[in-house]
Amino acid sequence: MKTVTLIISSLFLFMVLGVSAQQHGPQHRGQRGHMNPEEMVKRQVEHMKTELKLNEQQEKQVKDLLTENFKQRGELMKKYQGQRDSVMVNMKKMEEQQNLSLKKILTEEQYKTYLTNQEKRKQEMEKRRKEMMDKRGGQRDGHGDPATVNEDHECTGCGGCDKHK
């Protein structure tokens, strides 16, 4: 049970970082609209430093750990490109390893705080995801059911109107 919680919390952390990166606009992004790994690590370390009150030694260890983790993630994504299930299985293993390492770096109280905050972020993220799905009418493309929303919509092959059934 602890392992599942750790995996979920770590995955959630990276989702939060992704959302956070989107909120800060293009001036903070690297090439192609994405933050580069160094920026992401720096941002995550700063967040953890503030949240967990890391000392200098912990800060360096966390930075090294996250840097290595991002390198491994990049290699994993290249290796299993287009194989979502393989990526997810391997990502979970990496998250478990990262959390074991974090547990060694952080004090017991810091680690408890880390897990608690991860759970809070996970719940917030789930709430936002649900709100977005509700706004979109439950469909991922952002359009509700055209047959019930607007019969005279400009159809692009949605499959929900009479033209595409």
pLDDT in tens, 78-103: 888 888 888 889 988 998 899 899 99
Integer angstrom CA distances of residue 100 from 23, 67, 80, 90: 30, 16, 24, 15
The per-residue pLDDT for 96 is 87
What is the pTM (predicted TM-score) of this model? 0.58
Q: Which of 38-42, 97-101, 154-158 shows the lowest per-residue confidence on average (mean pLDDT)?
A: 154-158
Q: What is the DSSP letter of 6?
A: H
pLDDT in tens, 52-63: 999 999 999 999
pLDDT in tens, 113-152: 998 998 898 899 999 999 999 888 765 544 444 444 444 5
Phi, psi of 17 (to 5 degrees): -60, -40
Residue by residue, DSSP assigns 67-121 as HHHHHHHHHHHHHTTT-HHHHHHHHHHHHHHHHHHHHHHS-HHHHHHHHHHHHHH
In which region does residue 57 sit, left (phi positive, over 0), alpha (psi from -120 to 50) or beta (all else)? alpha
Phi, psi of 63 (to 5 degrees): -60, -45
pLDDT band at 20 (very low <50, low <70, confident <90, very high): low
The per-residue pLDDT for 64 is 95
CB 96 within 8 A of CB 3: yes
The per-residue pLDDT for 36 is 82
